[in-house]
Amino acid sequence: MIKRLNNLQKAVIGHPLLKASLIYSISDAINKAIPFLLLPLLTYYLSPNDFGITTNYNIYVNIIGILVGLNLNGAISVNYYKHNKSETATYISSSIFLMVVSFSLSLFIIWLSSRYLNLFLPISQNYLLAGAVIALGQSVTAINLDLWRLQQQPLKFGLYEIAQGLFAIILSFILIICFNLKWKARVDASIITASFFGICSLIFILNKGFLNFEVRKSAIKAVLHYGIPLIPYTLSSWFRMGIDRVYITKFVGASETGIYATSLQFGIIISFFTLALNNAFSPYVFKALSTVDEVELESKKLKLVKFTYLYFGILVIISVAAIFLSEYVIRHFLSSKYNGAQIFVPLSILSQTLQGMCLMFGLYILYAKKTSKLAYITIFCSMVQILMSYQLIKKFGAIGAAYSTFIVNFINLLAVWWYSAKSYEMPWSLKHKKEL
């Protein structure tokens, strides 16, 4: 019996899928933990105004990144197993060509509109143009990382991702402490990191034989056909996540944006927990729902629902504990300049809690393969947040952003729950189907 258990343990631990999942989860956790753990140092050396500028710059870069990257790495991933290596190399070469063209157009548009961009981000034109450089470097790196993932090389993926995060944060501290560059240190570090790792990624892609410098019209049409329709969806997602900081800067100031952004870092604790559990729970859900016997299936459905509600209860308890712990951390570990972040922390953490709940309902939509309308829910919630954030921040100040995010996440939860129930029948009332 013991021998069988040992063999089972070895089989489970040694399973390639489990190993890969663990490596991806650990690398993601480390990357998210690095900026959070270094928050006390960052808040000591950077003023809230500096933090606000870097926050807004990151939002700007992410939006430019969507326009430069055009979601082309997703197109490469989808077609990777459909083509041989030579055809994949042509797809990647054509995609990078498109990124360079988009990058050039972005530079021209930024140059023309820099005067208007300064209303949102009051920095020099050179830094605005550099945002496109960061976007291009990150887009090329995304292709390289996707290739490692598709080739089932999670260790290389994880190490490269962690190296990139450490490089950026170490360089930031060197520029902040040794050269006293303040917010410019964070931006300069982003430019150097994205450029360096983008070039390294290009070399890796070339050495792996996935770059043949052949640009084909059919490949361009195929990747654009995949990437272009996703732009409104990805843009709406980023506007939803970033628009509150834009409004805070406009109506209150960059310093308040920095304090608000600091409070959002504490939501990472909850988001990592919910994402990790969702990744671990999803295979169990899909396996349980694949049961052929109707009676057994209904029994398993009921168990899944009960576990989901139990998980929600535990998540709420963890969130409340995280709120109290976060307040202690802010008072004792962060610079006193950031004490104002305490007011935003409860709603920030609870908003992430709602997002975690939403992920659980999303599993049933994924199983039913009815994901198309999720984009409509996302776009609708983004529009609501854009309008609500404007009104609430204008009326109540920065706390209005926390209110709007919580309200919209609650609306999103209800919408996804409704669509989940419509997509795949589950006993959410805790009753067997035969009892209804």
pLDDT in tens, 134-187: 999 999 999 999 899 888 888 898 899 999 999 999 999 999 999 999 999 999
Q: Which has the minimum average pLDDT: 228-237, 302-311, 378-387, 409-418?
A: 228-237
CA–CA dist 399, 284 (Å, integer):
39
**Is the four-CA dihedral 85, 86, 91, 93 of positive or negative sign?**
positive
Q: Is 70:102 a contact under the CB 8 Å cutoff?
A: yes
Over residues 348-375, mean pLDDT: 87
Which bin fits 426, alpha (ψ -120 to 50), beta or left (φ > 0)? Answer: beta
Q: Which has the minimum average pLDDT: 19-28, 150-159, 294-303, 344-353?
A: 19-28
Over residues 380-397, mean pLDDT: 94
Question: What pLDDT sits at residue 110?
Answer: 96
Q: CA-based diameter of the chain, in Å?
A: 74
Question: What pLDDT sits at residue 12?
Answer: 44
Task: Output the CA angle 237-129-49, nearest 5 degrees.
Answer: 70
Question: What pLDDT sits at residue 131?
Answer: 97
Task: Output the CA angle 349-354-356, nearest 5 degrees.
Answer: 90
Question: What pLDDT sits at residue 435?
Answer: 45
CA dihedral (30, 32, 37, 39) in degrees, to 10, reads 150
Question: What pLDDT sits at residue 226?
Answer: 84
Question: What pLDDT sits at residue 397?
Answer: 96
CA–CA dist 155, 81 (Å, integer):
21
Q: Is 367:283 a contact under the CB 8 Å cutoff?
A: no
Question: What pLDDT sits at residue 16?
Answer: 60
Say whether 152 sits in a helix, a strand or coil: coil
Question: What pLDDT sits at residue 167?
Answer: 96
Q: Give the burial class of 434: count Cβ atoms within 10 A of its Cβ; 0-12 exposed, 13-18 middle, 19 or more buried.
A: exposed
Band (pLDDT 50/70/90 cuts) for residue 9 is very low
Write down the mean pLDDT value for the chain: 88
Q: Over 60: is that where the pLDDT of 98 sits?
A: yes
**Is the four-CA dihedral 79, 80, 82, 86 of positive or negative sign?**
positive
Strands (E), 280-327: none
Q: Over 90: is that where the pLDDT of 193 sits?
A: yes
Q: Which two tokens stand for residue 329?
A: 């951390």
- DSSP annotation string for 164-231: HHHHHHHHHHHHHHTT--THHHHHHHHHHHHHHHHHHHHHHHHHTT-------HHHHHHHHHHHGGGH
Query: Phi and psi (nearest 5°) for 164?
Result: -65, -45
**Is the four-CA dihedral 99, 103, 106, 108 of positive or negative sign?**
negative
Question: What pLDDT sits at residue 379?
Answer: 86
Question: What pLDDT sits at residue 290?
Answer: 85
Which bin fits 83, alpha (ψ -120 to 50), beta or left (φ > 0)? Answer: beta
Domain boundaries, the chain: 2-228, 265-435
